[in-house]
Structure formats: structure tokens, C-alpha cells
């Protein structure tokens, strides 16, 4: 929520305007949304030499009410210190919500306890969840380090300086936040009874089904998430000494970080599944219930008759505690006759929906649904469990919906080589793993390589698979030719070999082959020997889908040489690029994907060169499948591109437009899907697919999926801070760069249209 920035700012104010020495030390976790940050601020008249965490504080502020039940918030306060809690609770509610341990500490140590309703203030001011300035102002008033009036002035000056780039309105809102933060906190009357408060809850162990996961979640994930990871004994992690952790642990975080979450109104729902398709966090999902399941469903669970599937009920389920509150689902929901089926409501009012979600996870598989709705369609894909769920990506992140969709399509047979970047952080931030497994226990095998050699890393996975499967295929061929092999085994072998190169088609023949091999292995003789040797590596038998994930910083810049080499090799690998047009994970540095005129780190005056035409470069090979997609502009094109890429027995690359907090979308990240749509409508981004198989059929390999842009390019870019800020900082240069970029964008569309045979 910008707290670190505000704290750094506080240090600066104190350092500049008092004779005190100041020190700031910040401890982060790696969650992009709802992550925990602890700021340790030291001030004093003597030079500060210590660099330890602060454990004897005069002041502690807690910015999230939910933390009171998770972390030890007050134990580091000195007796007589001050505690500021951001929450909407009155004194009675405080009594209900605070844990006994905290109450006892506050009461017994004479702590000055204050609350402030930052969220309400933020909404009123128009700052939404960005409550840091409000709390900063309260901090100055409560601690009195600097006289109140002066502190307010210093803060306002700093705000003017920081935000003038973003416009007058933002500056005003921050000034209001400072005024109200300084005045609208409340001193809590601490009841005597708190001194002897007793706990009425006990920590209970989680059971995840899978023993390894259960052990991991209880012994590692939960303590680490309570900020007690440093206290873990080595024995707790010894089982992971080879670097692997059980997948699926993010589902046990249930962080409850959203302020508002979606509420489903079945009456307006057309069962399109788009909400589920776009949810960056896999929080909202369709469930399908048969009569029996309907009967046993929790009372709170809403549902409606399923379209085209008589006898079945359809429900949109929401994992409230995993929701980030981004609002993307509600944004895209078409609803009925202009009435949305999803509305954002305060989390507190929606807690019950969790049981519906949890129940939805336990329902029986419905093959008839998979048959009716193609798994490779927008709607059909959503009836398949996302094998990437509840990641710590920013609320509304544009990257995760693509990755999630890929796991719904291929997750049961996927290897993922992941470049360093946001996708390696939301993809696998210790202690939680959002990649998970389906009901059969199949899920992506995921690993993060170095930033620079991720393509090579995935290539290695592919080559290793080729080598092992090549050997296994030789055994299977020997079995096929063996005198002592049964006819059923021979048939299974043939079916296996016939489908060996298709990851979709090969799964079932593999299962049948394994069953036959297991029978044969019980015998003796040549076939039994071969069967045993084959079974020794049976996990490798089924054709895998090799994926290479990464951002534009990796793919356009630092890892480009390797990426080019791997794609040029002709190997059957699939590359998915999350193109945020900057190095997102490190705070928005310009990459070669950054378009002309965009402001970024290292391009403070707007990037002067145009976005690199990476798809154009890879299309020169002729044997690489290349797609350029923006989900929000064409849901269908994205799922088509992913499916085509995967099925192509050769190298594929999909470059996916991914809105990101670093772009500064005016309407916030909740409209990131709309932003993608606008980008295409304005000709800022083009959707197309280049399929070498079409060329082999004598057709034009290039299909331009975007229609001729009609909307204004300039209007589009003005909706993002990365562009509109330049009109304030360097108006003339902005004009030059923007008009050139606009012209280039038009030309690029023309060029594609010609190549695609739409124009000449």
C-alpha cells in the first residue's frame, strides 16, 4: 500500500527538519499483493550504529486489521509505547476481534492504543486502498516527533513534490489525506478486563490430503507466514534438501487480504465463465452439481439451472479468503440486459461464500460437461481446475490469467522453465507454491532458472525428455517385435507409439500401456525384462508439454540470444512471454519491449526508440509458431493461440500483452482486461497468429486477428501514467514521440495486413 515509500519520506522529513539522526530498515516478503512489509524506523540525537531489527519500539502501527490474528503485533512495544491499528472496529468490536495475547500485553504494559479507519477515509478521499499517507500523518501527530502543524506542512510539501507528475488531483487528495490522518484517529479506552483476557481459540493443524503437503504446510508454510520462519529448525526443511517442495501449498494461505470481493447474483448470470477466465488469482470458478450434490450443498450456496445441461446446476463460487479484490471479474462480467451478475461487496459481508467454494472443489468430475463444452474454448476451459491458484501476484495482474489458462489446458502434463521476474515471484515465492495438482495428482513441474538462460533451461528439459523417451520408445518397439509379448500389450504399444508426439492424445494410451506393462513385468523372459526397464521410468512415458515462461525483460533483452537459439533449433518447446513492456519485478525499467514515448526507469524522458518487433523477428524463421495476444481484446484468440502453439510439433512462442501496476492504468488494475481491449481497438497492440502448418498447406501462415483499429491511439495512451506523465514533464518531446509512435502503429498494422493477405 505504499507504506515503505511513506516511511522513507517520514525519515527524510525527520532527518531534514530536526537535529536527529534517522535510520530506516525494511523487511519485505515477496508477495506482490497483500504482502507483509515491516518498516523499522530509528531516530535519536546520537548517531545510529545499530542495524538490528527493532524489538523495543516506542510506536507500532498495524496497517491491516487481519494481521492482529496472524502476527505478534505489540510484543515489540516498550511499556507505555503507542500502538496504532488501522481498522473499522469500534471498542466493542475490538474486544471481539483482538486476540487475548494482544489484549493482555496492551493492558498490562500501559500501551497507548489508537485506531483509525483508514479504509473508510481512503474511499472518501478517493485514494481507495492507498492509505499510507493517512497513517503517516497519524504517526507524526501521535508521536509528536515534530510539532503537528510543522509536520503537516512538511508532509504536504513532500506530497506536492512526489505527485505533481501525476496531476493536480492526486496532489489534492494526498493533502486531504494528511489533514484527515492527523485528526481522525481515535484513542481507545483499554478495559481493565483485558489484563486477564484468555484465548478462546487454539491453532489447529491443517490436513491437505497429501501427507507431504500436509507436513510442509503445517511445519513450514504456516510458521513462515506467521513471520516465524527464522525460528524453524533445520529438520523442518531437510526433506526439501534437493530443492523441491510439494506443490499446491498456496491454497493453505487463505490470506483474506481483499477489502471488497465479488458477490454473485445468479439471476443476471449467463454462465459465460468469463469471470473465471480472467481472474488473475483463480479465485472465482464455475461449479457444476448433479441432483445429489445439490442436495448436500451448503445452504448459503447460490446456484441456477445449467444452460444446455438439463438436470445439472451451475454455480459461480468464490474463494473469498483468496480474493485480492481486484474487481477484474466484475469488470468483465457481461451480466444480463446490462445488469452485472457480479458486484464488489465488503469482504465481511461475503465470508459465507467460502464454504460454497470449498464444496465446489469436492464435486465429482462431469465428463458430460467436458464433452459439451470444448476444453479448448473460453467457456469450456473454465470447467477444468486451474493448476495455478491463489498466487501472490498484484491484485489484477495482467500476467497470471495467461499462465493460469495454460495450466487449465495443459497443466496435467506441463514442465515449466521460468525466467526470473514477476512470474518467478508469483509463480513460486517461498513458502507458498501456487502451482498445484488436479484430482489425479498431476500438475505442472515448475522451476525457476537464472534470468539470462531460461530458454536454454527449458531446452534442456526438452532434450532430456527426448533422450529418455527415445530410449523408452526403443524398448516399446522391441516389445512390439517380441515373440513373447501378448497381443494386448502389442496393441497398447502401437497405440502409444502412434500418439507419442501429441501431449493430448498420448495420455490415455500411456495409461493403458503402463497397465499392460505391469501385467507383463510379472512374467519372465525378454518382454518381462523390457517391461521392467520401461516401467522404471514410467513417469517419463507420457508426452510432456514443455513451457518456457518469462517477462519481456528476459525475452526481449537479457535472455534474447538464448531464446533465439532455442527457437531456431526446431525443438518442440512452447514459450509464453508476459509482456508488461517493462521489467516489472524490479520496479519498471525500460526493456526493448517498452514502446516509444513510454516513461520508465532509465527512460525518464520517454523511450526514444520503438518497441522491438520480436514476433516479426521470429516469423522470419518460417518454422516457428508465433502468436501475439491480448486476452481482454479477444478471449477466444488467446485460448486458440495457446492450443495451437502446444499442438505444433516444433517451437512456439506466444507474446501476451500484460497490464501491470507499473503502467499506471488510470482506472486501476481492476480494468486491466478492458485496457487490453482498448489497446487493440486503438491499434496499440495487434493480435495475430503465425502458424507454419498453414504454409505447409499452401495457405498464408499469418492470420491477423485484430480488426483495423478505429479508436484513438492518443486517447488510449493518455489513460496510462507512463504516457500521460510525459506531457507534463516534457510536453514538446511527448508530442513528437507520441505522434511518431502513432504513425508507426498505423504502419505496423498496414504491414501486418499486407503480410496476412488482407491488403496489398
Ligand X SMILES: Cc1ncc(C[n+]2csc(CCOP(=O)(O)OP(=O)(O)O)c2C)c(N)n1
Binding residues vs ligand X (CB under 6 A): 399, 420-423, 451-452, 550-554, 558, 578, 580, 583-586, 591
273 interacts with ligand SF4 by CB under 6 A: yes
Site string for ligand SF4, 578-597 (x = CB under 6 A): --x---xx------------
Is 342 near ligand SF4 (CB under 6 A)? yes
* Binding track over 395-424 against ligand SF4, x by CB under 6 A: --x-x----------------------x--
Contact partner at residue 553 from ligand SF4, its own copies, ligand X, none, CB < 5 to 8 Å by partner kind: ligand X
Q: How far is the CB of 724 from its own copies (least distance, A)?
A: 24
Q: Residue 207's binding partner, choosing from its own copies, ligand SF4, ligand X, none, with beta-carbon cut-off 5 to 8 A by kind?
A: none
- Is 760 one of the binding residues for its own copies (CB under 8 A)? yes
Nearer of residues 231 and 565 to its own copies, judged by Cβ: 565
- Pick one of ligand SF4, ligand X, its own copies, none as the site partner of residue 420 (Cβ within 5 to 8 A by kind): ligand X
User: Which one among 99, 564, 727, 758 touches its own copies, defined by CB under 8 A?
Assistant: 564
Say if CB 316 and CB 285 are below 8 A apart: yes
427 or 431: whose CB is closer to ligand X? 427
> Closest CB to ligand X among 82 and 584?
584
Provide the CB-side half-sphere exposure for 64 (13 A, CA).
Answer: 21
Rule CB under 8 A: choose which of 557, 581, 644, 691 binds its own copies: 557
Q: How far apart are the first and last CA of the chain?
A: 51
The phi and psi torsions of 115 (rounded to 5 degrees) equal: -125, 160
| Omega before residue 47 within 30° of 0, cis | no
335 interface partner picked from its own copies, ligand X, ligand SF4, none, CB below 5 to 8 A per type: ligand SF4
Mark the segment that binds its own copies (CB under 8 A) among 236-244, 461-469, 475-483, 563-571: 563-571
Alpha carbon distance 461, 449 (integer Å):
12
Told to check if 77 binds its own copies by CB under 8 A, we report no
Q: Candidates 147-155, 279-287, 469-477, 706-714 — which segment interacts with ligand SF4 by CB under 6 A?
A: 279-287
Contacts (Cβ under 8 Å, ≥6 apart) of 77: 57, 58, 59, 60, 83, 105, 109, 111
Closest distance of CB 738 from its own copies, Å: 17
- CA angle 547-552-555, nearest 5°? 55
Question: Which of the listed partners (its own copies, ligand X, ligand SF4, none) does 118 bind, with a CB threshold of 5 to 8 Å by partner kind?
Answer: none
Contacts of 637 (CB under 8 A, 6+ apart): 629, 687, 689, 705
* Alpha carbon distances (Å) from 727 to 119, 352, 582, 606: 32, 47, 20, 10
Number of Cβ within 10 Å of residue 729's Cβ equals 14
- Closest to ligand X by CB, 582 vs 633, is 582
Q: How far apart are CA 38 and CA 613, in angstroms?
A: 42
User: Residue 725 in contact with residue 604, Cβ under 8 Å?
Assistant: no
Please say which residue, 194 or 685, places its beta carbon nearer to ligand X.
Answer: 685
Q: Which is nearer to ligand SF4, 331 or 652 (CB)?
A: 331
Total Cβ atoms within 10 A of residue 450: 13
Reading the block at residue 295, the C-alpha cell is 442436495
d(CA 308, CA 305): 9
Work out whether 569 is an interface residue with its own copies (CB under 8 A): yes
Q: How many CA atoms lie within 13 A of 233 on its CB side?
A: 3
Q: By C-beta, is 244 or 608 nearer to its own copies?
A: 608
Measured distance CA(155)–CA(166) in Å, rounded: 17
3-state DSSP assignment of residue 624: coil
Q: Which is nearer to ligand SF4, 148 or 345 (CB)?
A: 345
Q: Is 283 in the site for ligand SF4 (CB under 6 A)?
A: yes
**Do 634 and 656 form a contact (C-beta atoms < 8 A)?**
no
Which H or E run includes 93? helix 91-97
How many chain residues interact with ligand SF4 (CB under 6 A)? 41
Cα 289 from Cα 180, distance rounded (Å): 50
Give the binding-site size for its own copies (rule: CB under 8 A). Answer: 25
174 φ/ψ angles, rounded to the nearest 5 degrees = -70, -35
Choose between 248 and 421: whose C-beta lies nearer to ligand X.
421
Residue 115 or 585: which CB sits closer to ligand SF4? 585
Give yes or no for a contact between 112 and 119, defined as CB atoms under 8 angstroms apart: no
Any contact of residue 12 with its own copies (CB under 8 A)?
no
Judged by beta carbon distances under 5 to 8 A according to partner kind, the member of ligand X, its own copies, ligand SF4, none in contact with residue 726 is none
Bridge partners, residue 40, by sequence: 25
Given 5, 470, 570, 731, the residue binding its own copies (CB under 8 A): 570
Yes or no: say if 165 and 728 are a contact pair by the CB < 8 Å rule: yes
Binding-site partner at residue 609 among ligand X, ligand SF4, its own copies, none, CB < 5 to 8 Å by type = its own copies
Residue from 262, 443, 550, 597 binding ligand SF4 (CB under 6 A): 262
Does residue 341 belong to the site contacting ligand SF4 (CB under 6 A)?
A: yes
Q: Rounded to whole angstroms, how far apart are CA atoms 642 and 503?
A: 13
Q: Which three cell numbers stand for residue 333?
A: 462480467
Q: In this chain, which of 4, 232, 617, 694 binds its own copies, going by CB under 8 A?
A: 617
Minimal distance, residue 160 CB to ligand X, in Å: 31
DSSP string, 543-594: PPEEEEEEEHIIIIIITHHHHHHHHHTT---EEEEEE-SEETTTT-EE-TTS
DSSP labels, 459-495: HHHHHHHHHHHHHHHHHHHHHHH-TTS-HHHHHHHHH
Rounded distance between C-alpha atoms, residue 58 and residue 82, angstroms: 6
Q: What DSSP state is assigned to residue 127? A: -
Nearer to ligand X, 415 or 583 (CB): 583
Residue 420 or 447 having the CB closest to ligand X: 420
609 binding its own copies? (CB under 8 A): yes
Question: In the set 89, 621, 648, 730, which binds its own copies (CB under 8 A)?
Answer: 621
Burial of 96 (C-beta count, 10 Å sphere; 0-12/13-18/19+): exposed
Site for its own copies in 697-756 (CB under 8 A): 744
Query: Between 278 and 658, whose beta carbon lies closer to ligand X?
Result: 658
The site map against its own copies for 479-518 (x = CB under 8 A) is: ----------------------------------------
- Binding its own copies (rule: CB under 8 A), the pick from 608, 636, 649, 739 is 608
Spatial CA neighbour of 686 closest among 605, 624, 758 = 758
Binding region for its own copies (CB under 8 A) out of 268-276, 538-546, 605-613, 718-726:
605-613
Q: Which does 562 bind (CB under 5 to 8 A by kind): ligand X, its own copies, ligand SF4, none?
A: its own copies
Shortest Cβ 425–ligand X spacing (Å): 8
Work out which of 63, 104, 255, 281 binds ligand SF4, going by CB under 6 A: 281
Candidates 155, 297, 329, 347: give the one binding ligand SF4 (CB under 6 A). Answer: 329
Helices and strands of the chain, counted as H and E runs = 30, 21
| Cβ-based neighbours of 307, under 8 Å, separated by 6 or more | 270, 271, 314
CA dihedral 398, 400, 405, 410 (to 10 degrees): 140
What residue 550 binds from ligand X, its own copies, ligand SF4, none (CB within 5 to 8 A, per partner kind)? ligand X
Cβ pair 400, 421 in contact under 8 A: no
Q: Which positions lie near its own copies, rule CB under 8 A? A: 557-562, 564-565, 568-570, 592, 608-610, 612-613, 616-617, 620-623, 744, 760
Q: Which positions lie near ligand SF4, rule CB under 6 A? A: 32, 261-262, 264, 269-275, 279, 281, 283-284, 316, 318, 323-329, 333-335, 341-342, 393-394, 397, 399, 422, 426, 580, 584-585, 660-662
Amino acid at each position: 500500500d505504499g507504506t515503505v515509500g511513506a516511511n522513507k519520506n517520514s525519515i527524510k522529513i525527520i532527518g531534514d527538519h530536526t537535529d536527529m539522526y534517522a535510520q530506516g530498515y525494511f523487511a519485505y516478503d515477496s508477495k506482490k499483493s497483500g504482502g507483509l512489509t515491516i518498516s523499522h524506523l530509528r531516530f535519536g540525537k546520537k548517531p545510529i550504529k545499530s542495524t538490528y531489527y527493532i524489538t523495543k519500539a516506542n510506536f507500532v502501527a498495524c496497517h491491516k486489521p487481519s494481521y492482529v490474528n496472524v502476527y505478534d503485533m505489540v510484543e515489540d512495544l516498550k511499556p507505555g509505547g503507542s500502538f496504532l491499528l488501522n481498522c473499522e472496529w469500534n471498542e466493542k468490536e475490538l474486544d471481539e476481534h483482538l486476540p487475548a495475547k494482544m489484549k493482555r500485553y496492551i493492558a498490562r504494559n500501559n500501551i497507548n492504543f489508537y485506531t483509525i479507519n483508514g479504509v473508510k477515509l481512503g474511499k472518501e478521499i478517493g485514494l481507495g486502498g492507498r492509505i499510507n499517507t493517512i497513517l503517516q500523518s497519524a504517526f507524526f501527530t501521535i508521536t509528536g516527533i515534530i510539532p503537528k502543524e510543522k509536520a503537516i506542512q512538511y508532509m504536504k510539501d513532500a506530497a506536492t513534490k512526489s505527485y505533481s507528475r501525476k496531476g493536480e488531483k492526486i496532489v489534492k487528495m494526498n493533502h486531504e489525506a494528511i489533514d484527515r490522518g492527523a485528526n481522525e484517529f481515535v484513542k481507545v479506552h483499554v478495559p481493565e478486563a483485558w489484563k486477564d483476557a484468555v484465548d478462546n481459540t487454539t491453532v489447529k493443524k491443517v490436513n491437505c490430503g497429501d501427507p507431504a503437503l500436509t507436513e510442509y504446510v503445517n511445519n513450514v508454510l504456516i510458521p513462515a507466514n506467521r513471520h516465524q520462519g527464522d525460528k524453524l529448525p533445520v529438520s523442518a526443511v531437510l526433506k526439501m534438501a534437493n530443492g523441491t517442495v510439494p506443490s499446491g501449498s498456496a491454497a493453505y494461505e487463505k490470506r483474506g487480504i481483499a477489502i471488497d470481493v465479488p458477490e454473485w447474483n445468479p439471476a443476471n448470470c449467463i454462465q459465460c465463465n468469463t469471470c473465471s477466465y480472467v481472474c488473475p488469482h483463480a479465485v472465482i470458478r464455475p461449479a457444476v452439481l448433479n441432483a445429489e450434490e445439490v442436495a448436500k450443498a451448503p445452504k448459503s450456496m447460490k446456484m441456477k439451472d445449467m444452460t444446455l445441461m438439463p438436470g445439472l446446476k451451475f454455480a459461480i463460487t468464490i474463494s473469498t479468503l483468496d480474493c485480492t479484490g481486484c474487481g477484474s471479474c466484475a469488470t468483465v462480467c457481461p451480466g444480463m440486459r446490462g445488469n452485472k451478475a457480479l458486484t464488489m461487496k465488503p469482504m465481511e459481508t461475503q465470508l459465507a461464500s467460502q464454504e460454497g467454494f470449498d464444496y465446489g472443489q469436492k464435486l465429482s468430475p462431469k465428463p458430460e460437461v467436458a464433452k459439451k463444452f470444448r476444453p479448448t474454448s473460453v467457456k469450456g476451459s473454465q470447467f477444468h481446475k486451474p493448476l495455478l491458484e491463489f498466487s501472490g501476484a498484484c491484485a489484477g495482474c495482467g500476467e497470471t490469467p495467461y499462465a493460469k489458462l495454460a495450466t487449465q489446458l495443459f497443466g496435467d502434463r506441463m514442465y515449466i522453465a521460468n525466467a526470473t521476474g514477476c512470474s518467478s515471484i508469483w509463480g513460486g515465492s517461498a513458502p507458498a507454491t501456487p502451482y498445484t495438482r488436479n484430482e489425479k495428482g498431476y500438475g505442472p513441474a515448475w522451476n525457476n532458472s537464472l534470468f539470462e538462460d531460461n530458454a536454454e533451461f527449458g531446452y534442456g528439459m526438452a532434450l532430456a525428455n527426448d533422450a529418455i523417451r527415445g530410449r523408452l520408445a526403443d524398448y516399446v518397439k522391441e516389445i512390439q517385435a517380441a515373440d513373447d509379448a501378448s497381443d494386448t500389450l502389442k496393441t497398447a504399444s502401437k497405440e502409444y507409439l502412434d500418439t507419442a508426439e501429441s501431449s493430448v492424445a498420448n495420455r490415455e494410451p500411456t495409461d493403458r500401456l503402463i497397465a499392460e506393462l505391469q501385467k507383463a513385468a510379472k512374467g519372465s523372459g525378454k518382454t518381462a525384462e523390457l517391461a521392467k526397464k520401461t516401467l522404471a521410468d514410467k513417469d517419463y512415458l507420457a508426452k510432456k508439454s514443455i513451457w518456457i515462461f518469462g517477462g519481456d525483460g528476459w525475452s526481449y533483452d537479457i535472455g534474447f540470444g538464448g531464446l533465439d537459439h532455442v527457437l531456431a533449433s526446431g525443438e518442440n518447446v512452447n514459450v509464453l512471454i508476459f509482456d508488461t513492456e517493462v521489467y516489472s519485478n524490479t520496479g519498471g525499467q525500460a526493456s526493448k519491449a517498452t514502446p516509444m514515448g513510454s516513461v520508465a526507469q532509465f527512460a525518464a524522458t520517454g523511450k526514444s526508440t520503438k518497441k522491438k518487433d520480436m514476433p516479426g523477428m521470429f516469423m522470419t524463421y518460417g518454422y516457428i509458431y508465433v502468436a501475439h495476444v491480448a486476452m481482454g481484446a479477444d478471449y477466444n484468440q488467446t485460448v486458440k493461440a495457446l492450443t495451437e502453439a502446444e499442438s505444433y510439433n516444433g517451437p512456439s512462442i506466444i507474446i501476451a500483452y500484460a497490464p501491470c501496476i507499473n503502467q499506471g492504468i488510470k482506472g486501476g488494475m481492476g480494468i486491466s482486461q478492458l485496457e487490453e481491449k482498448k489497446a487493440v481497438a486503438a491499434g496499440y497492440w495487434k493480435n495475430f497468429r503465425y502458424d507454419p502448418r498453414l504454409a505447409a498447406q499452401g495457405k498464408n501462415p499469418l492470420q491477423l486477428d485484430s480488426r483495423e483499429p478505429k479508436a484513438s491511439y492518443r486517447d488510449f495512451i493518455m489513460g496510462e501514467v507512463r504516457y500521460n506523465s510525459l506531457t507534463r514533464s516534457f510536453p514538446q518531446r511527448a508530442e513528437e514521440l507520441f505522434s511518431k509512435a502513432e504513425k508507426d502503429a498505423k504502419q505496423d498494422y498496414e504491414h501486418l495486413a499486407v503480410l496476412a493477405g488482407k491488403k496489398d
